[in-house]
A and B are shown apart, each in its own frame.
Chain A
Protein backbone atom coordinates (compact mmCIF):
# COMPACT_ATOMS: atom_id res chain seq x y z
CA UNK A 1 0.00 0.00 0.00
CA UNK A 2 1.18 3.45 -0.89
CA UNK A 3 0.53 4.99 2.53
CA UNK A 4 2.46 2.26 4.26
CA UNK A 5 5.44 3.00 2.02
CA UNK A 6 5.16 6.66 2.94
CA UNK A 7 5.06 5.74 6.60
CA UNK A 8 8.14 3.53 6.29
CA UNK A 9 9.93 6.27 4.38
CA UNK A 10 9.06 8.74 7.15
CA UNK A 11 10.41 6.39 9.80
CA UNK A 12 13.52 5.60 7.75
CA UNK A 13 14.60 9.21 7.45
CA UNK A 14 17.13 9.88 10.23
CA UNK A 15 16.34 13.58 10.06
CA UNK A 16 12.79 12.90 11.21
CA UNK A 17 14.22 11.33 14.36
CA UNK A 18 16.98 13.73 15.29
CA UNK A 19 15.69 17.20 14.33
CA UNK A 20 14.25 19.61 16.90
CA UNK A 21 10.75 18.34 17.72
CA UNK A 22 11.65 15.15 15.88
CA UNK A 23 10.69 11.70 17.06
CA UNK A 24 13.36 11.56 19.79
CA UNK A 25 12.32 14.93 21.22
CA UNK A 26 8.64 14.04 21.16
CA UNK A 27 9.31 10.60 22.63
CA UNK A 28 11.27 12.18 25.50
CA UNK A 29 8.39 14.62 26.12
CA UNK A 30 5.87 11.81 25.93
CA UNK A 31 7.79 9.67 28.42
CA UNK A 32 8.50 12.56 30.81
CA UNK A 33 4.82 13.53 30.96
CA UNK A 34 3.74 9.89 31.36
CA UNK A 35 6.26 8.98 34.06
CA UNK A 36 5.47 12.04 36.17
CA UNK A 37 1.72 11.45 35.81
CA UNK A 38 2.00 7.81 36.86
CA UNK A 39 4.28 8.66 39.80
CA UNK A 40 1.85 11.33 41.01
CA UNK A 41 -1.02 8.85 40.71
CA UNK A 42 0.99 6.25 42.67
CA UNK A 43 1.92 8.73 45.41
CA UNK A 44 -1.75 9.62 45.88
CA UNK A 45 -3.49 6.38 44.92
CA UNK A 46 -1.42 3.74 46.73
CA UNK A 47 -1.51 5.19 50.29
CA UNK A 48 -5.19 6.08 50.06
CA UNK A 49 -6.10 2.71 48.56
CA UNK A 50 -3.96 0.87 51.12
CA UNK A 51 -5.55 2.70 54.06
CA UNK A 52 -9.08 2.21 52.75
CA UNK A 53 -8.39 -1.47 52.08
CA UNK A 54 -6.67 -1.93 55.44
CA UNK A 55 -9.54 -0.42 57.39
CA UNK A 56 -12.10 -1.99 55.07
CA UNK A 57 -13.93 1.28 54.61
CA UNK A 58 -14.70 3.26 51.46
CA UNK A 59 -15.57 0.42 49.08
CA UNK A 60 -18.47 2.39 47.67
CA UNK A 61 -16.22 5.41 47.29
CA UNK A 62 -13.67 3.58 45.13
CA UNK A 63 -16.35 2.10 42.88
CA UNK A 64 -18.02 5.51 42.50
CA UNK A 65 -14.65 7.13 41.77
CA UNK A 66 -13.80 4.74 38.96
CA UNK A 67 -17.30 4.99 37.50
CA UNK A 68 -17.29 8.78 37.49
CA UNK A 69 -13.81 8.98 36.03
CA UNK A 70 -14.90 6.70 33.21
CA UNK A 71 -17.65 9.12 32.24
CA UNK A 72 -15.36 12.14 31.92
CA UNK A 73 -13.71 12.35 28.50
CA UNK A 74 -9.94 12.78 28.80
CA UNK A 75 -10.07 15.29 25.99
CA UNK A 76 -12.47 17.42 28.05
CA UNK A 77 -10.20 17.52 31.08
CA UNK A 78 -7.11 18.20 28.96
CA UNK A 79 -8.88 21.12 27.31
CA UNK A 80 -10.43 22.49 30.49
CA UNK A 81 -7.07 22.50 32.30
CA UNK A 82 -5.48 24.18 29.33
CA UNK A 83 -7.86 27.15 29.55
CA UNK A 84 -7.48 27.60 33.33
CA UNK A 85 -4.59 29.67 34.71
CA UNK A 86 -2.49 26.46 34.55
CA UNK A 87 -2.20 27.24 30.86
CA UNK A 88 -1.67 24.78 28.06
CA UNK A 89 1.54 22.85 27.90
CA UNK A 90 3.16 19.90 29.66
CA UNK A 91 1.90 20.88 33.11
CA UNK A 92 -1.80 20.84 32.22
CA UNK A 93 -1.33 17.55 30.36
CA UNK A 94 0.49 15.95 33.28
CA UNK A 95 -2.18 17.00 35.79
CA UNK A 96 -5.02 15.76 33.58
CA UNK A 97 -3.29 12.42 33.00
CA UNK A 98 -2.53 11.99 36.70
CA UNK A 99 -6.18 12.59 37.53
CA UNK A 100 -7.15 9.76 35.20
CA UNK A 101 -4.39 7.47 36.47
CA UNK A 102 -5.49 7.69 40.12
CA UNK A 103 -8.71 5.59 39.90
CA UNK A 104 -7.12 2.39 38.51
CA UNK A 105 -4.22 2.59 40.99
CA UNK A 106 -6.47 3.37 43.93
CA UNK A 107 -9.14 0.78 43.08
CA UNK A 108 -6.68 -2.03 42.50
CA UNK A 109 -4.71 -1.20 45.65
CA UNK A 110 -7.95 -1.15 47.60
CA UNK A 111 -9.05 -4.51 46.19
CA UNK A 112 -5.58 -5.96 46.82
CA UNK A 113 -5.47 -4.92 50.48
CA UNK A 114 -9.12 -5.83 51.00
CA UNK A 115 -8.50 -9.30 49.61
CA UNK A 116 -5.72 -10.19 52.05
CA UNK A 117 -6.76 -13.19 54.10
CA UNK A 118 -7.98 -11.99 57.51
CA UNK A 119 -6.23 -14.98 59.13
CA UNK A 120 -2.90 -13.69 57.83
CA UNK A 121 -3.56 -10.30 59.42
CA UNK A 122 -4.56 -11.98 62.69
CA UNK A 123 -1.40 -14.11 62.64
CA UNK A 124 0.74 -11.06 61.94
CA UNK A 125 -0.84 -9.23 64.90
CA UNK A 126 -0.37 -12.28 67.11
CA UNK A 127 3.33 -12.27 66.23
CA UNK A 128 3.51 -8.82 67.77
CA UNK A 129 3.50 -6.67 64.67
CA UNK A 130 2.09 -3.19 65.10
CA UNK A 131 -0.40 -1.68 62.62
CA UNK A 132 2.40 -0.23 60.49
CA UNK A 133 4.22 -3.55 60.26
CA UNK A 134 1.01 -5.40 59.48
CA UNK A 135 0.35 -2.95 56.68
CA UNK A 136 3.85 -2.92 55.21
CA UNK A 137 5.17 -6.42 55.91
CA UNK A 138 2.13 -8.65 55.81
CA UNK A 139 -0.48 -6.97 53.64
CA UNK A 140 1.69 -5.10 51.14
CA UNK A 141 3.52 -8.15 49.72
CA UNK A 142 0.24 -10.02 49.40
CA UNK A 143 -1.47 -7.08 47.72
CA UNK A 144 1.52 -6.45 45.43
CA UNK A 145 0.24 -8.36 42.36
CA UNK A 146 -3.06 -6.47 42.24
CA UNK A 147 -1.36 -3.20 43.11
CA UNK A 148 0.98 -3.70 40.18
CA UNK A 149 -1.94 -4.54 37.91
CA UNK A 150 -3.36 -1.16 38.83
CA UNK A 151 -0.10 0.61 38.11
CA UNK A 152 0.22 -1.23 34.81
CA UNK A 153 -3.33 -0.38 33.77
CA UNK A 154 -2.74 3.23 34.72
CA UNK A 155 0.62 3.44 32.94
CA UNK A 156 -0.63 1.95 29.67
CA UNK A 157 -3.63 4.23 29.80
CA UNK A 158 -1.46 7.29 30.50
CA UNK A 159 0.96 6.48 27.66
CA UNK A 160 -1.98 5.98 25.33
CA UNK A 161 -3.85 9.08 26.49
CA UNK A 162 -0.80 11.34 26.40
CA UNK A 163 -1.28 11.18 22.63
CA UNK A 164 -4.45 13.23 23.00
CA UNK A 165 -2.46 16.15 24.39
CA UNK A 166 -1.52 16.90 20.81
CA UNK A 167 -5.15 17.76 20.05
CA UNK A 168 -4.88 20.71 22.44
CA UNK A 169 -1.43 21.91 21.42
CA UNK A 170 0.44 19.77 23.93
CA UNK A 171 3.56 17.77 23.19
CA UNK A 172 4.23 14.08 22.82
CA UNK A 173 4.15 11.63 19.96
CA UNK A 174 0.52 12.43 19.16
CA UNK A 175 1.88 15.57 17.54
CA UNK A 176 3.11 13.56 14.56
CA UNK A 177 -0.46 12.35 14.01
CA UNK A 178 -2.20 15.71 14.41
CA UNK A 179 0.47 17.50 12.38
CA UNK A 180 0.19 14.89 9.65
CA UNK A 181 -3.58 15.38 9.49
CA UNK A 182 -3.15 19.13 9.27
CA UNK A 183 -0.50 18.92 6.55
CA UNK A 184 -2.38 16.18 4.67
CA UNK A 185 0.73 14.01 5.08
CA UNK A 186 -1.03 10.74 5.79
CA UNK A 187 2.18 8.72 5.64
CA UNK A 188 3.33 10.65 8.70
CA UNK A 189 -0.07 10.04 10.34
CA UNK A 190 0.39 6.32 9.91
CA UNK A 191 4.02 6.50 11.07
CA UNK A 192 2.93 8.35 14.22
CA UNK A 193 0.16 5.83 14.84
CA UNK A 194 2.64 2.95 14.54
CA UNK A 195 5.06 4.61 16.98
CA UNK A 196 2.34 5.35 19.54
CA UNK A 197 0.89 1.85 19.33
CA UNK A 198 4.33 0.28 19.72
CA UNK A 199 5.08 2.49 22.72
CA UNK A 200 1.82 1.45 24.40
CA UNK A 201 2.44 -2.24 23.81
CA UNK A 202 6.06 -1.89 25.01
CA UNK A 203 4.85 -0.20 28.20
CA UNK A 204 2.40 -3.02 28.81
CA UNK A 205 5.09 -5.68 28.34
CA UNK A 206 7.69 -3.84 30.43
CA UNK A 207 5.33 -3.39 33.36
CA UNK A 208 4.10 -6.96 33.08
CA UNK A 209 7.74 -8.00 33.54
CA UNK A 210 8.19 -5.60 36.48
CA UNK A 211 5.06 -6.83 38.22
CA UNK A 212 6.23 -10.42 37.72
CA UNK A 213 9.55 -9.50 39.36
CA UNK A 214 8.04 -7.79 42.41
CA UNK A 215 5.50 -10.53 43.07
CA UNK A 216 6.70 -12.56 46.04
CA UNK A 217 6.38 -16.29 46.25
CA UNK A 218 6.93 -18.98 43.64
CA UNK A 219 6.97 -17.36 40.23
CA UNK A 220 4.88 -18.76 37.49
CA UNK A 221 4.63 -17.51 33.99
CA UNK A 222 1.07 -16.35 33.60
CA UNK A 223 1.15 -16.01 29.84
CA UNK A 224 -2.07 -17.24 28.31
CA UNK A 225 -3.96 -17.35 31.57
CA UNK A 226 -6.67 -14.80 31.47
CA UNK A 227 -8.98 -13.92 34.28
CA UNK A 228 -12.60 -13.60 33.33
CA UNK A 229 -14.03 -11.67 36.20
CA UNK A 230 -16.69 -9.12 35.36
CA UNK A 231 -15.31 -5.66 34.91
CA UNK A 232 -17.78 -3.51 36.78
CA UNK A 233 -15.40 -3.09 39.71
CA UNK A 234 -13.30 -0.71 37.68
CA UNK A 235 -10.61 -3.14 36.57
CA UNK A 236 -10.78 -1.91 33.02
CA UNK A 237 -9.01 1.35 32.24
CA UNK A 238 -10.96 4.39 31.21
CA UNK A 239 -10.64 5.92 27.77
CA UNK A 240 -7.39 4.78 26.21
Chain B
Protein backbone atom coordinates (compact mmCIF):
# COMPACT_ATOMS: atom_id res chain seq x y z
CA UNK B 1 0.00 0.00 0.00
CA UNK B 2 2.62 2.50 1.06
CA UNK B 3 4.37 4.02 -1.88
CA UNK B 4 7.98 5.09 -1.81
CA UNK B 5 6.89 8.72 -1.80
CA UNK B 6 4.87 8.48 1.39
CA UNK B 7 7.70 6.55 3.00
CA UNK B 8 9.95 9.47 2.26
CA UNK B 9 7.44 11.84 3.79
CA UNK B 10 7.24 9.77 6.95
CA UNK B 11 10.98 9.50 7.14
CA UNK B 12 11.26 13.28 6.98
CA UNK B 13 8.99 13.40 10.04
CA UNK B 14 6.40 15.41 8.19
CA UNK B 15 3.43 13.16 8.83
CA UNK B 16 0.30 15.18 8.22
CA UNK B 17 -1.05 16.68 11.42
CA UNK B 18 -4.01 18.80 10.32
CA UNK B 19 -5.66 21.28 12.65
CA UNK B 20 -9.04 19.82 11.96
CA UNK B 21 -9.92 16.44 10.59
CA UNK B 22 -13.54 15.50 9.88
CA UNK B 23 -12.58 11.84 9.74
CA UNK B 24 -11.24 12.06 13.30
CA UNK B 25 -14.60 13.40 14.46
CA UNK B 26 -16.48 10.73 12.50
CA UNK B 27 -14.26 7.88 13.70
CA UNK B 28 -14.34 8.91 17.35
CA UNK B 29 -17.91 10.14 17.48
CA UNK B 30 -18.89 7.87 20.38
CA UNK B 31 -15.89 8.89 22.49
CA UNK B 32 -16.49 12.58 21.81
CA UNK B 33 -20.16 12.17 22.64
CA UNK B 34 -19.45 10.46 25.96
CA UNK B 35 -16.97 13.20 26.97
CA UNK B 36 -19.49 15.81 25.87
CA UNK B 37 -22.10 14.09 28.03
CA UNK B 38 -19.82 14.17 31.05
CA UNK B 39 -19.05 17.84 30.38
CA UNK B 40 -22.74 18.74 30.19
CA UNK B 41 -23.65 16.66 33.26
CA UNK B 42 -20.89 18.25 35.36
CA UNK B 43 -21.77 21.78 34.23
CA UNK B 44 -25.51 21.42 34.81
CA UNK B 45 -25.03 19.75 38.20
CA UNK B 46 -22.49 22.36 39.32
CA UNK B 47 -24.60 25.36 38.34
CA UNK B 48 -27.83 23.89 39.77
CA UNK B 49 -26.15 22.96 43.07
CA UNK B 50 -24.34 26.31 43.11
CA UNK B 51 -27.61 28.18 42.64
CA UNK B 52 -29.34 26.11 45.33
CA UNK B 53 -26.52 26.98 47.75
CA UNK B 54 -26.16 30.59 46.68
CA UNK B 55 -29.81 31.51 47.19
CA UNK B 56 -29.92 30.85 50.96
CA UNK B 57 -26.47 32.42 51.30
CA UNK B 58 -27.67 35.56 49.53
CA UNK B 59 -30.83 35.64 51.66
CA UNK B 60 -28.69 35.41 54.81
CA UNK B 61 -26.17 37.96 53.54
CA UNK B 62 -28.97 40.43 52.89
CA UNK B 63 -29.74 40.63 56.58
CA UNK B 64 -26.71 42.69 57.52
CA UNK B 65 -23.66 44.33 56.00
CA UNK B 66 -21.36 42.27 58.16
CA UNK B 67 -22.87 39.00 57.02
CA UNK B 68 -22.66 40.18 53.42
CA UNK B 69 -18.98 41.07 53.82
CA UNK B 70 -18.32 37.68 55.42
CA UNK B 71 -20.13 35.59 52.81
CA UNK B 72 -18.66 37.52 49.88
CA UNK B 73 -15.19 37.57 51.44
CA UNK B 74 -15.10 33.81 51.94
CA UNK B 75 -16.41 33.06 48.44
CA UNK B 76 -13.84 35.45 46.94
CA UNK B 77 -11.08 33.74 48.92
CA UNK B 78 -12.20 30.37 47.58
CA UNK B 79 -12.15 31.84 44.08
CA UNK B 80 -8.48 32.84 44.56
CA UNK B 81 -7.40 29.23 45.04
CA UNK B 82 -6.11 27.93 41.71
CA UNK B 83 -8.33 25.23 40.24
CA UNK B 84 -5.54 22.67 40.00
CA UNK B 85 -4.78 23.18 43.70
CA UNK B 86 -8.48 22.98 44.54
CA UNK B 87 -8.83 19.59 42.89
CA UNK B 88 -5.62 18.49 44.63
CA UNK B 89 -7.07 19.57 48.00
CA UNK B 90 -10.32 17.71 47.39
CA UNK B 91 -8.69 14.64 45.96
CA UNK B 92 -7.66 13.00 49.29
CA UNK B 93 -11.31 13.13 50.39
CA UNK B 94 -13.21 12.21 47.26
CA UNK B 95 -10.59 10.44 45.16
CA UNK B 96 -10.36 10.20 41.38
CA UNK B 97 -14.08 10.73 40.90
CA UNK B 98 -16.49 13.12 39.26
CA UNK B 99 -17.43 14.26 42.76
CA UNK B 100 -14.01 15.90 43.16
CA UNK B 101 -14.55 17.97 40.02
CA UNK B 102 -18.15 18.72 40.93
CA UNK B 103 -17.37 20.06 44.41
CA UNK B 104 -14.64 22.31 43.01
CA UNK B 105 -16.94 23.65 40.30
CA UNK B 106 -19.75 24.35 42.77
CA UNK B 107 -17.38 26.26 45.06
CA UNK B 108 -16.12 28.37 42.15
CA UNK B 109 -19.61 29.11 40.87
CA UNK B 110 -20.62 30.47 44.28
CA UNK B 111 -18.62 33.70 43.99
CA UNK B 112 -20.49 34.83 40.87
CA UNK B 113 -23.88 33.47 41.94
CA UNK B 114 -23.96 34.85 45.50
CA UNK B 115 -22.78 38.27 44.29
CA UNK B 116 -25.44 38.49 41.59
CA UNK B 117 -28.22 37.02 43.73
CA UNK B 118 -27.44 39.54 46.46
CA UNK B 119 -27.32 42.42 43.98
CA UNK B 120 -30.66 41.25 42.57
CA UNK B 121 -32.32 41.08 45.98
CA UNK B 122 -30.93 44.48 46.91
CA UNK B 123 -32.23 45.98 43.69
CA UNK B 124 -35.83 45.35 44.77
CA UNK B 125 -37.12 48.79 45.79
CA UNK B 126 -37.87 49.03 49.50
CA UNK B 127 -41.28 50.62 48.91
CA UNK B 128 -42.34 47.75 46.65
CA UNK B 129 -41.49 45.32 49.43
CA UNK B 130 -43.22 47.59 51.91
CA UNK B 131 -46.45 47.78 49.93
CA UNK B 132 -46.48 44.01 49.38
CA UNK B 133 -46.20 43.57 53.12
CA UNK B 134 -48.95 46.11 53.60
CA UNK B 135 -51.15 44.05 51.27
CA UNK B 136 -50.66 41.10 53.63
CA UNK B 137 -47.93 39.14 51.81
CA UNK B 138 -46.04 36.78 54.12
CA UNK B 139 -42.29 36.31 53.73
CA UNK B 140 -42.61 33.27 51.43
CA UNK B 141 -45.20 34.78 49.10
CA UNK B 142 -43.26 38.07 49.15
CA UNK B 143 -40.17 36.26 47.92
CA UNK B 144 -41.84 34.16 45.22
CA UNK B 145 -44.29 36.68 43.82
CA UNK B 146 -42.59 40.03 44.32
CA UNK B 147 -38.86 39.79 44.93
CA UNK B 148 -37.96 36.87 42.66
CA UNK B 149 -39.54 38.34 39.50
CA UNK B 150 -37.92 41.72 40.13
CA UNK B 151 -34.51 40.20 40.86
CA UNK B 152 -34.69 37.72 37.99
CA UNK B 153 -32.59 39.68 35.44
CA UNK B 154 -29.70 39.88 37.90
CA UNK B 155 -30.15 36.21 38.89
CA UNK B 156 -30.10 35.12 35.26
CA UNK B 157 -27.04 37.26 34.50
CA UNK B 158 -25.23 35.49 37.33
CA UNK B 159 -26.32 32.05 36.15
CA UNK B 160 -25.18 32.81 32.61
CA UNK B 161 -21.73 33.98 33.71
CA UNK B 162 -21.40 31.02 36.09
CA UNK B 163 -22.43 28.54 33.38
CA UNK B 164 -20.01 29.87 30.79
CA UNK B 165 -17.06 29.89 33.20
CA UNK B 166 -18.00 26.45 34.52
CA UNK B 167 -17.96 25.00 31.00
CA UNK B 168 -14.42 26.34 30.60
CA UNK B 169 -13.37 25.18 34.05
CA UNK B 170 -14.53 21.57 33.67
CA UNK B 171 -11.48 20.99 31.46
CA UNK B 172 -9.14 21.28 34.47
CA UNK B 173 -10.82 18.12 35.78
CA UNK B 174 -8.42 16.16 33.57
CA UNK B 175 -6.10 16.04 36.57
CA UNK B 176 -8.44 13.49 38.16
CA UNK B 177 -9.49 11.99 34.83
CA UNK B 178 -12.92 13.63 34.60
CA UNK B 179 -12.41 16.72 32.48
CA UNK B 180 -15.17 16.18 29.93
CA UNK B 181 -13.98 17.53 26.59
CA UNK B 182 -10.76 18.52 28.34
CA UNK B 183 -9.83 14.84 28.13
CA UNK B 184 -9.58 15.30 24.36
CA UNK B 185 -7.29 18.33 24.78
CA UNK B 186 -4.76 16.60 27.02
CA UNK B 187 -5.37 13.29 25.25
CA UNK B 188 -4.33 14.81 21.94
CA UNK B 189 -1.39 16.51 23.58
CA UNK B 190 -0.16 13.25 25.04
CA UNK B 191 -0.82 11.38 21.77
CA UNK B 192 2.19 13.04 20.17
CA UNK B 193 0.51 16.46 19.77
CA UNK B 194 -2.41 15.19 17.69
CA UNK B 195 -3.85 18.54 16.63
CA UNK B 196 -7.21 17.30 15.34
CA UNK B 197 -8.07 15.86 18.77
CA UNK B 198 -6.89 18.97 20.65
CA UNK B 199 -8.82 21.33 18.41
CA UNK B 200 -11.95 19.18 18.52
CA UNK B 201 -11.89 19.36 22.33
CA UNK B 202 -11.16 23.09 22.42
CA UNK B 203 -13.74 24.05 19.81
CA UNK B 204 -16.26 21.75 21.47
CA UNK B 205 -15.83 23.59 24.77
CA UNK B 206 -16.30 27.01 23.21
CA UNK B 207 -19.35 25.86 21.22
CA UNK B 208 -20.85 24.29 24.32
CA UNK B 209 -20.40 27.53 26.26
CA UNK B 210 -21.98 29.47 23.41
CA UNK B 211 -24.98 27.14 23.14
CA UNK B 212 -25.49 27.16 26.91
CA UNK B 213 -25.38 30.96 26.98
CA UNK B 214 -27.90 31.22 24.14
CA UNK B 215 -30.24 28.71 25.80
CA UNK B 216 -30.11 30.65 29.07
CA UNK B 217 -30.69 33.94 27.25
CA UNK B 218 -33.74 32.34 25.67
CA UNK B 219 -34.92 31.07 29.05
CA UNK B 220 -34.52 34.55 30.50
CA UNK B 221 -36.63 36.03 27.70
CA UNK B 222 -39.31 33.40 28.24
CA UNK B 223 -39.32 33.95 32.00
CA UNK B 224 -39.61 37.72 31.87
CA UNK B 225 -42.31 38.46 29.27
CA UNK B 226 -43.03 41.83 30.89
CA UNK B 227 -39.52 43.12 30.12
CA UNK B 228 -40.10 42.51 26.41
CA UNK B 229 -43.48 44.25 26.41
CA UNK B 230 -42.06 47.25 28.21
CA UNK B 231 -39.32 47.64 25.66
CA UNK B 232 -41.41 47.41 22.51
Contacts and interface: CB of A to CB of B under 8 A. Distances in A.
Interface in B28-75: 66, 68-69, 72-73
Q: In the complex, which of the residues B68, B88, B92 has the most CB atoms of chain A within 10 Å of its own CB atom?
A: B88
Interface of B: 66, 68-69, 72-73, 76-77, 79-86, 88-89, 91-92, 108, 111-112, 115-116, 118-120, 122, 154, 157-158, 160-161, 164-165, 167-172, 174-175, 182, 185-186, 188-189, 193, 195, 198-199, 201-202, 205-206, 209-210, 213
Interface stretch (A37-45, A110-118, A227-235): A227-235
A174 B172 CA distance: 12
B92 A76 contact: no
B69 A163 contact: no
Interface stretch (A17-25, A64-72, A133-141): A64-72
Given A73-B168, A190-B92, A226 B69 contact: yes
B84 A163 contact: yes
B188 to A, nearest CB: 8
A180 B176 CA distance: 12
A70 B168 contact: yes
Contacts of A67: 164, 213
Interface string A193-205: 1101100110010
B41 to A, nearest CB: 17
Which 6 residue pairs are nearest across A and B when measured between Cβ atoms?
A76-B202, A160-B82, A71-B209, A193-B88, A193-B85, A73-B168
Given A1-B92, A72-B206, A197 B82 contact: yes
- What is the interface of chain A mostly: helix, strand, loop, or mixed? helix
The size bracket of the interface on A is 35 or more
Interface of A: 1, 3, 67, 70-77, 79-80, 82-83, 156, 159-161, 163-164, 166-169, 174, 177-178, 180-181, 186, 189-190, 192-194, 196-197, 200-201, 204, 224-226, 228-232, 236-240
Given A71-B210, A80-B202, A228-B68, A236 B189 contact: no
B111 A236 contact: yes
Contacts of A79: 185-186, 188-189, 198, 202
A96 to B, nearest CB: 12
A160 B108 CA distance: 13
A240 B169 CA distance: 8
Q: In the complex, which of the residues B119, B185, B188 has the most CB atoms of chain A within 10 Å of its own CB atom?
A: B185
Contacts of A231: 112, 115-116, 157-158, 161
19 contacts: A1-B92, A70-B168, A70-B209, A72-B202, A72-B206, A73-B167, A73-B182, A75-B185, A76-B185, A76-B206, A80-B198, A163-B83, A163-B85, A189-B91, A197-B82, A229-B119, A230-B119, A236-B111, A240-B81
